[in-house]
Structure 1
């Protein structure tokens, strides 16, 4: 009886580990989709509304509930401290990094956006956004492929490892 309960717990634990690892791929893809949407909105707000960045960040951060929204909200708060945009953006990335499901190459694209904002005219900023959106779109497609391929693999691996461990213990 105790042996069967142990086998069941090991099986459930291995399955859970596989599903948790697979969820990290889903979270990255979902976050990249949110980032794409919010960067498009950010581009339109900057090009057409021409409000201060602090106001734009506050308005956009309320659009969605995701990591990038909290990053924009924190960046807006940092701008209140009279920091430059790149400093505020960097501090905000550091403060929100523990909740970030993105890879370093994804965050590098976001850093590139911050480097160009406020340093050129509207046309220059539009080009920066276009390049960033293309790179983010490519990363989102890659994340979708990884989710489908590796997510399925980790789920199956968790189930197989749990079954193998349970069989060995029996």
Structure 2
């Protein structure tokens, strides 16, 4: 029975370490998806002259979860509610943010970007998208650095913490 408990403790701590490493791996991937979505939004608005709600629905179909849900909620809010684009964006952002691996810095960038949605002409909107992309580039570089630095450590720490706990309890 002792060995079963020890094995269970070791498995749980290892799982926690791998879960922490997975979050570190997901953040750069989701940032790349977000940047691609913003570029697609720029193309839809600038060159396709697509209304914002339709562009958001197109992006929802092109983007993987959980970011697709952000654009789905945004499009639905624009179509069904009597609200501004900025309010619909922030509401959608808050509803989906907890499901992502993204951090507060990215939230602030996306919140500031959403505050400008639909308020300016196409050229100014293009500049706002470029500004958001530049900020996300910086955040992605930081996320890649953190992933390289801490992902392997998180896995090892999970295993070693489990071993330590098993040794102390035996």
Shift of 1:63: 0.3
For 1:37, the equivalent position in structure 2 comes to 36
TM-align CA RMSD: 1.3
Shift of 1:67: 2.1
C-alpha separation in 2, matches of 1:168 and 1:48: 64
C-alpha separation in 1, matches of 2:67 and 2:12: 31
Shift of 1:109: 1.0
| SS of residue paired to 1:49 | coil
| SS of residue paired to 2:13 | helix
Pairing 1:79–2:83 present: no
C-alpha separation in 1, matches of 2:55 and 2:69: 13
Preserved contact between residue 109 and residue 132 of structure 1 (Cα < 8 Å): yes
Q: How high is the TM-score relative to the length of structure 1?
A: 0.94
For 2:104, the equivalent position in structure 1 comes to 104
Unaligned stretches of 5+ residues in structure 1: none
Q: Deviations over 1:149-169 (max 9, x none)?
A: 111111111111111122223
The alignment of Structure 1 onto Structure 2 pairs a total of residues equal to 169
C-alpha separation in 2, matches of 1:167 and 1:114: 52
Shift of 1:11: 0.9
| SS of residue paired to 1:28 | helix
C-alpha separation in 2, matches of 1:56 and 1:128: 17
Preserved contact between residue 34 and residue 66 of structure 1 (Cα < 8 Å): no
C-alpha separation in 2, matches of 1:77 and 1:136: 25
For 2:67, the equivalent position in structure 1 comes to 68
Unaligned stretches of 5+ residues in structure 2: none
C-alpha separation in 1, matches of 2:94 and 2:39: 23
C-alpha separation in 2, matches of 1:126 and 1:52: 15
C-alpha separation in 1, matches of 2:115 and 2:12: 44
For 1:46, the equivalent position in structure 2 comes to 45
Shift of 1:95: 2.0
Q: How high is the TM-score relative to the length of structure 2?
A: 0.94
| SS of residue paired to 2:62 | coil
Preserved contact between residue 19 and residue 158 of structure 1 (Cα < 8 Å): yes
